[in-house]
């Protein structure tokens, strides 16, 4: 008998673009995936990753049952055994050494799951440890710090109003491959082409001629790590030429004269040689930004994972303020998600970092998080407060964190480790217990994080496509179990006890659905548009909530209720930038890159995404290859302070002279993993080379771009 076929709609959970997918479901399989043409936000767009939705479900390597490590090998056990092992492993360590002896690492997919949005905060509370390390500190932490100082809240992040802008200056972002970040914009490339089609322009600043750069009206090569100089050169010009004018924002802005004072030290002539961009062009950018009817400056990984990440992220917003483009249509604007309630009046407690510091290196907490760049220090350094046990949730720091060779060794020395993760990979191979959640087709989806960063306000909820695997466990239940263990209720307690408590706190006792659905419903009802989960269920293609609207002053949470343009920590950091002007230029430096068919470290086990030619190559400019006698397709040895590896050379003028590029997320040849497809073409782990000692001091974010390296033929 032929199996029945149906159509299901759901949001893709794989990246920040939040595309609507149309799934063809035959029996218990997703047999085809297309972009949902009726989706209010993505209008049918899909990328090759989204097209593989459902393939992870079938991956024979994906873990379906918990695993316990015995004599160095992982074996399947029951859930009851697994949670009992977690309790037995963690309790004596906590009793003997205290709560701080347990560290947590939260990885990127936490912002792509409902469990991450709803259960991680209570989990951290129950664990009571300050040793919370996150993937945010190899990513966007500088943006949070900059926005915290400017607007009073780390989560008050303005996104480029792509659909209405006349001029976009993009630094360190490659949405043609990444599909965008800190700006949820399904079909980001299409939205960029639309700027050009309506007579506008976009300019890309990047040490590589990326696919995005190729499509741009102009591409400027820049020396890695020097965007703060370029932006200060622009800000200097705005003041020098009388172009600085915040317009409507003037009464809500404090500190403009202080910025003027700081910028005085950075005339285009002074910074040009450092960033390798001509003074005339720097002035030109300032004039174009000021003259465009509307304009937006947008920066991403290349502006965050660098030495002056916070300063650069701050200057992005300062430029938007000074050109009158913050909070106006066509500039950069603050989204308003349906599950959030805006405050009625400006003002608040403000923002601070460093309420506590990491034990070994004294790095400040930000948003209650510590830099993963110092996790190995905390594990390896003896003394009171030493980390002896680790819980990872949705993270693979052995491939994603700086100096990961050292971190890998440190994880091997832990007394106990637990991972909530669907794969036995480079990180989880160290875990004594692995707790794999149900896969994406079996869970509901709502983007708590990315709907607050969307370039147009919209909302959508995706119910599970398939019923849960009866022997599997939803991630909310897994985290609920861990919360109950951490709070002393015991491994055998039913997770419904914990769900009930959260539902009571949210005032959602009388609603229907899974606990996550009921918590979402409560948030939507209290939220900005008074929606309910039923409203979203009735709209499988999403609910459009209109273009972004101005939100200043209400959105401001600084004690003054104003935009604090020049907070003291940024003044001090500017002094450091100034002294860096005199530094000798490093020799070769390493930067990263992304490919459309990758997803950080964890989708290389999907055959459709790894086929084709080797992508994990070391890109080198022809002039450097000549000088170093490197040949295309041959291995070279790359060495940094942190480590050394051998990579295949790809000679290309896509990178600027003096810059080499290696993608991250590869290196799948470590023993003890279960990644059949990925280990056939393992690639090399670029984070063997990145340096855990290099961080952006204000945010603790790792420096992943601009790493000094030496290269010779292998
Ligand atoms: N050199 C260099 N390094 C980088 C970067 C760079 O540009 N250059 N980029 C950085 C950035 S931006 C990021 S965000 C980090 C990412 O750093 P991480 O978050 O540490 O790494 P990922 O590769 O995203 O690994 C995600 C893990 O989550 C698991 N997972 C997938 N889905 C789920 C789920 O639904 N639930 C659970 N519990 N687990 C799941 C996967 O199996 C995998 O183990 O890497 C950073 N590292
Ligand atoms: N296909 C795919 N998509 C992804 C991911 C993935 O791994 N694969 N990861 C997701 C995640 S977690 C994130 S955070 C986003 C990131 O989204 P993006 O930031 O758009 O990601 P990248 O493609 O790494 O683009 C960063 C660009 O910065 C450039 N760059 C490096 N150093 C500098 C510098 O000093 N200055 C300037 N101006 N540019 C510099 C690099 O050459 C690169 O082109 O992508 C997300 N989307
Ligand atoms: S762009 Fe991102 S959200 Fe859209 S289909 Fe691709 S992976 Fe999924
Ligand atoms: Mo990221």
Domain of 303 in residue numbering reads as 141-334+555-578
What is the pLDDT at residue 2? 67
CB 161 within 8 A of CB 331: yes
- Please check whether residue 521 lies inside any domain of the structure: no
Instruction: Kindly state whether residues 229 and 154 are assigned to the same domain.
Output: yes
Query: What is the distance in A from the centroid of ligand 1 to the CA of 624?
Result: 32
Of 133, 329, 319, 303, the residue nearest 224 (C-alpha): 303
Query: What is the distance in A from the centroid of ligand 3 to the CA of 248?
Result: 36
| Candidate of 203, 215, 234, 302 to mutate for ligand 2, largest count of ligand atoms within 8 Å of Cβ | 302
Query: What is the distance in A from the centroid of ligand 4 to the CA of 108?
Result: 6
Instruction: Kindly state whether residues 686 and 561 are assigned to the same domain.
Output: no
* Domain closes at, from 524, 544, 578: 578
CB 537 within 8 A of CB 123: no
Report the CATH number that the domain containing residue 678 is assigned in CATH: 2.40.40.20
109 lines ligand 2 (CB under 6 A): no
- Please check whether residue 34 lies inside any domain of the structure: no
236 lines ligand 2 (CB under 6 A): no
- Please check whether residue 257 lies inside any domain of the structure: yes
Instruction: Kindly state whether residues 701 and 559 are assigned to the same domain.
Output: no
Mean pLDDT by 10 residues, the chain (714 residues): 88 98 96 98 98 95 98 97 98 96 98 98 98 98 98 98 98 98 98 98 98 98 98 98 97 98 98 97 98 98 98 98 98 98 96 98 98 98 97 98 98 98 98 98 98 98 97 98 97 97 95 96 98 98 98 98 98 98 92 97 96 96 98 98 98 98 98 98 98 98 98 96
What beta strand segments (E) does 353-511 contain?
Answer: 370-371, 389-393, 416-420, 433-435, 456-459
| Local structure of residue 294 (DSSP, 8 states) | S
Instruction: Kindly state whether residues 246 and 270 are assigned to the same domain.
Output: yes
Instruction: Kindly state whether residues 568 and 637 are assigned to the same domain.
Output: no
CB 140 within 8 A of CB 174: no
Query: What is the distance in A from the centroid of ligand 1 to the CA of 342?
Result: 31
- Please check whether residue 55 lies inside any domain of the structure: no
Instruction: Kindly state whether residues 202 and 298 are assigned to the same domain.
Output: yes
* Coil/strand/helix, residue 545: strand
User: How many domains, the chain?
Assistant: 2
Instruction: Kindly state whether residues 559 and 690 are assigned to the same domain.
Output: no
Instruction: Kindly state whether residues 162 and 246 are assigned to the same domain.
Output: yes
Ligand with an atom nearest the CA of residue 424: 1
Query: What is the distance in A from the centroid of ligand 1 to the CA of 614?
Result: 21
| Candidate of 116, 142, 178 to mutate for ligand 2, largest count of ligand atoms within 8 Å of Cβ | 178
185 lines ligand 3 (CB under 6 A): no
Residue nearest to atom 2 of ligand 2 (CA): 178
What is the distance between the alpha carbons of residues 22 and 150, in angstroms, rounded to a whole number? 40
Atom of ligand 3 nearest to the CA of 51: 5
Strand 5-11 with 20-26, pairing: antiparallel
| Candidate of 138, 689, 690 to mutate for ligand 1, largest count of ligand atoms within 8 Å of Cβ | 138
Chain centre distance of CA 569: 24
- Please check whether residue 96 lies inside any domain of the structure: no
- Please check whether residue 534 lies inside any domain of the structure: no
Strand 563-564 with 253-254, pairing: parallel
Give the H or E element holding residue 167.
strand 167-171
Q: How far apart are the first and last CA of the chain?
A: 59
Instruction: Kindly state whether residues 590 and 571 are assigned to the same domain.
Output: no
Report the CATH number that the domain containing residue 165 is assigned in CATH: 3.40.228.10
Instruction: Kindly state whether residues 633 and 565 are assigned to the same domain.
Output: no
How long is the chain? 714
Strand 433-435 with 416-420, pairing: parallel
| Candidate of 49, 598, 600 to mutate for ligand 3, largest count of ligand atoms within 8 Å of Cβ | 49
Of 215, 285, 182, the residue nearest 243 (C-alpha): 285
440 lines ligand 3 (CB under 6 A): no
* Domain closes at, from 547, 578, 609: 578
Instruction: Kindly state whether residues 563 and 670 are assigned to the same domain.
Output: no
Nearest-5° Cα angle at 574, 568 to 576: 115
439 lines ligand 1 (CB under 6 A): no
What is the pLDDT at residue 388? 98
| Candidate of 41, 50, 460 to mutate for ligand 3, largest count of ligand atoms within 8 Å of Cβ | 50
What is the distance between the alpha carbons of residues 683 and 617, in angstroms, rounded to a whole number? 8
Q: What is the pTM of this model?
A: 0.98
Query: What is the distance in A from the centroid of ligand 1 to the CA of 398?
Result: 10
CB 439 within 8 A of CB 56: yes
Query: What is the distance in A from the centroid of ligand 2 to the CA of 585?
Result: 24
Instruction: Kindly state whether residues 704 and 566 are assigned to the same domain.
Output: no
* Coil/strand/helix, residue 321: helix
495 lines ligand 1 (CB under 6 A): no
What is the distance between the alpha carbons of residues 533 and 518, in angstroms, rounded to a whole number? 8
182 lines ligand 3 (CB under 6 A): no
Largest CA distance in the chain: 78
600 lines ligand 1 (CB under 6 A): yes
- Please check whether residue 73 lies inside any domain of the structure: no
Residue nearest to atom 32 of ligand 1 (CA): 109
């Amino acid at each position: 008998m032929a199996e029945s076929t149906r159509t299901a709609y759901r949001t893709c959970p794989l990246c920040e673009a939040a595309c609507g997918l149309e799934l063809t479901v035959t029996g218990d399989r997703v047999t085809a995936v297309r972009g949902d043409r009726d989706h209010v936000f993505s209008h049918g767009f899909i990328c090759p990753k989204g097209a593989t939705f459902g393939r992870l479900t079938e991956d024979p390597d994906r873990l379906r049952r918990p695993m316990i490590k015995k004599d160095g090998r992982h074996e399947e056990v029951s859930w009851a055994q697994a949670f009992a092992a977690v309790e037995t492993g963690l309790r004596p360590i906590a009793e003997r050494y205290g709560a701080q002896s347990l560290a947590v690492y939260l990885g990127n997919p936490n912002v792509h799951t409902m469990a991450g949005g709803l259960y991680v905060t209570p989990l951290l509370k129950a664990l009571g440890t300050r040793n919370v390390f996150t993937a945010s500190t190899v990513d966007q932490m500088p943006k949070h710090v900059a926005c915290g100082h400017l607007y009073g809240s780390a989560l008050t992040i303005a996104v480029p109003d792509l659909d209405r802008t006349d001029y976009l200056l993009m630094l360190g972002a490659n949405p043609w491959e990444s599909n965008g970040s800190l700006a949820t914009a399904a079909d980001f490339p299409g939205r960029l082409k639309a700027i050009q089609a309506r007579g506008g322009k976009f300019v890309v600043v990047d040490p590589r001629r990326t696919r995005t750069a190729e499509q741009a009206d102009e591409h400027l090569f820049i020396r890695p790590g020097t965007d703060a100089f370029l932006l200060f050169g622009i800000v200097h010009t705005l003041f020098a030429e009388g172009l600085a004018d915040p317009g409507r924002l003037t009464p809500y802005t404090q500190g403009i004269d202080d910025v003027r004072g700081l910028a005085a030290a950075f005339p285009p002539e002074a910074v040009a040689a450092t960033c390798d961009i001509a003074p005339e062009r720097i002035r030109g950018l300032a004039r174009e930004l000021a003259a465009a009817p509307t304009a937006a400056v947008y920066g991403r990984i290349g502006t965050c994972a660098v030495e002056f990440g916070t300063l650069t992220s701050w200057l992005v917003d300062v430029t938007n303020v000074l050109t009158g483009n913050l909070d106006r249509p066509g500039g950069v604007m603050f989204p308003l998600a349906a599950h959030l309630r805006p405050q009625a009046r400006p003002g608040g407690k403000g923002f601070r970092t460093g309420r506590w510091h990491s034990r070994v290196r004294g790095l400040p907490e930000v948003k209650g998080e510590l830099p993963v760049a110092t996790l190995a220090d905390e594990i390896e350094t003896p003394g009171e407060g030493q980390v002896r046990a680790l819980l990872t949730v949705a993270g693979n720091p052995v491939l994603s964190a700086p100096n990961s060779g050292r971190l890998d060794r440190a994880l091997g020395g832990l007394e106990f480790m637990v991972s909530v993760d669907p794969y036995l990979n480079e990180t989880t191979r160290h875990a004594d217990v692995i707790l794999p959640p149900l896969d994406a087709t079996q869970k509901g989806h709502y983007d708590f994080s990315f709907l607050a960063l969307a370039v147009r306000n919209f909302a959508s909820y995706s119910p599970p496509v398939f019923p849960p695997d009866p022997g599997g466990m939803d991630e909310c239940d897994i985290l609920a179990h861990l919360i109950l263990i951490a709070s002393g209720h015991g491994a055998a307690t039913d997770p419904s006890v914990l769900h009930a408590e959260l539902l009571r706190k949210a005032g959602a006792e009388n609603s229907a659905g899974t606990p996550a659905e009921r918590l979402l419903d409560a948030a939507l009802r209290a939220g900005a548009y008074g929606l309910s989960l039923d409203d979203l269920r009735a709209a499988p293609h999403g609910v459009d909530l209109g273009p972004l609207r101005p939100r200043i002053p209400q959105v401001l949470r600084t004690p003054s209720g104003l935009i604090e343009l020049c907070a003291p920590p940024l003044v001090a950091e500017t002094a450091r930038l100034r002294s860096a002007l005199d530094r000798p230029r490093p020799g070769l430096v390493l930067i990263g890159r992304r490919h459309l068919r990758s997803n950080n470290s964890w989708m290389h086990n999907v055959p459709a995404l790894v086929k084709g030619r080797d992508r994990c190559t070391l890109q080198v400019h022809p002039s450097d290859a000549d000088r170093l006698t490197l040949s295309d397709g041959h291995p070279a040895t790359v060495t940094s302070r942190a480590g050394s590896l051998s990579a295949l050379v790809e000679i290309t003028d896509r990178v600027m002279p003096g810059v080499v590029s290696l993608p991250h997320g590869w290196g799948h040849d470590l023993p003890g993993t279960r990644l059949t497809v990925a280990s056939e073409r393992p690639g090399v782990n670029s984070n063997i080379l990145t340096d855990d000692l290099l961080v952006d001091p204000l945010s603790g974010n790792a420096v992943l771009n601009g790493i000094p390296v030496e290269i010779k033929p292998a």
